[in-house]
Amino acid sequence: MERELALEFARITEAAALAAARWMGRGDKEAADEAAVTAMRAVFDTVCIDGTVVIGEGEMDEAPMLYIGEKVGNGTAPSVDIAVDPVEGTNNVAKGLPNSIAVVAAAEKGGLLHAPDMYMDKIAVGPKAKGKINLDAPVKENLKAVADALGKSIEDLTVVILNRPRHDKLIREVREAGARIQLIQDGDVAPAVAAGMAGTGVDILMGIGGAPEGVVAAAALKCLGGEMQGRLWPEDDEDIERAKKLGINDINKLLTMDDLVKSDDVIFAATGITDGDLLKGVRFFAHGGRTHTVVMRSVTGTVRFIDAIHRLDLKPFVFRR
């Protein structure tokens, strides 16, 4: 993939973030998502790729746009797999909470795991702790390994965990080990990416979240040189059948980075919708807005932060509610 695509994907996530941010704190997560999807899909039409959505808004009969299998781009080379999350953390936008982002990841065709819409148990760390974690190891053992890799004590680690009843045991074990915990309500892509970057205040992500989000976060960590491991966490037989339809026959397989993201040519872009550890949220002013975006390429290892100002009086957005 050409380096120019990195900026094109930034344009896509910027458009989605600007559209969704109009709905911040207004209590309507569906409207925020609809606005972001519409804006993101419109910009995709201008990008020179032959893209196929492999992680998106749902199956064809569930989503009008950015559904799994939809073709995006203008149809020219290169052929790429696309993973999108127009609003990662819809509840966060609706409630005005932090860490909601608009995300796009792309890899060579066949380069991204076609993750079913179900849960995944995950552990994610940055480059210094790469090769030190094991999803099957005891919690304290993983925390000790990460702390040693970062030159910290366990007591200085910050672990991000989704605040869910299913994590009661995990939270208890992390606390017993002595590490600090940052509980989040929704959206585990941003903290997983933050774990891969020094200076964000996040050292490790642990726990069960969305499987598609796991692949998206793994794409970013591939660019950063970090690591994620995962295992699908089905709730019922329907989840197991859904995985089999996507070619995943061993539901209990430990998924490594090479399983989640097979390609070494990956681009990841994310724009903040609300403020977070990784990115600032959208700021609006008279006739315009300001966005904060991160763009990464695995081929070069380059990470760019883009602070952009947009003339919104020249870019009409469609709000249907």
| CATH number of the structural domain spanning residue 166 | 3.40.190.90
Tell me: is residue 187 an annotated ligand-binding position. Answer: yes
For residue 37, give the CATH number of its domain.
3.30.540.10
Answer yes or no: is 88 a known binding residue: yes
By residue range, what is the domain housing residue 87? 4-109+265-314
- Look at the chain and report how many structural domains it folds into: 2
Quote the pTM value: 0.93
Does 293 appear as a known binding residue? no
Q: Tell whether 164 is in a known binding site.
A: yes
Phi, psi of 29 (to 5 degrees): -70, -30
Please give the backbone phi and psi of residue 155, each rounded to the nearest 5 degrees, phi first: -65, -20
Quick check: is 243 in a domain?
yes
| 166 labeled binding residue | yes
Please count the other Cβ atoms lying within 10 Å of the Cβ belonging to residue 236: 9
Rounded distance between C-alpha atoms, residue 83 and residue 51, angstroms: 10
pLDDT in tens, the chain (321 residues): 777 899 999 999 999 999 999 999 999 999 999 999 999 999 999 999 999 999 999 876 678 899 999 999 999 989 999 999 999 999 999 999 999 999 999 999 999 999 988 999 999 999 999 999 999 999 999 999 999 999 999 999 999 999 999 999 999 999 999 999 999 999 999 999 999 999 999 999 999 999 999 999 999 999 999 999 999 999 999 999 989 988 898 999 999 999 999 999 999 999 999 999 889 999 999 889 999 999 999 999 999 999 999 988 755 454 443
Q: Is 38 annotated as a binding residue?
A: no
Q: Is residue 219 located within the same domain as residue 269?
A: no
SS3 259: helix
> Is 90 known as a binding-site position?
yes
- Residue 188 marked ligand-binding: yes
Closest CA relative to residue 35, chosen from 44, 46, 23: 23
89 in a known ligand binding site: yes
User: What angle, 0 to 180 degrees and rounded to 10, lies between the N-to-C axes of helices 168-177 and 139-150?
Assistant: 50
Please check if 196 is assigned to a binding site: no
Q: CB of 77 within 8 A of CB of 7?
A: no
Is 14 annotated in a binding site? The answer is no
Let me know whether 236 and 281 are in one domain: no
122, with CB counted inside 10 A (0-12, 13-18, 19+), is buried
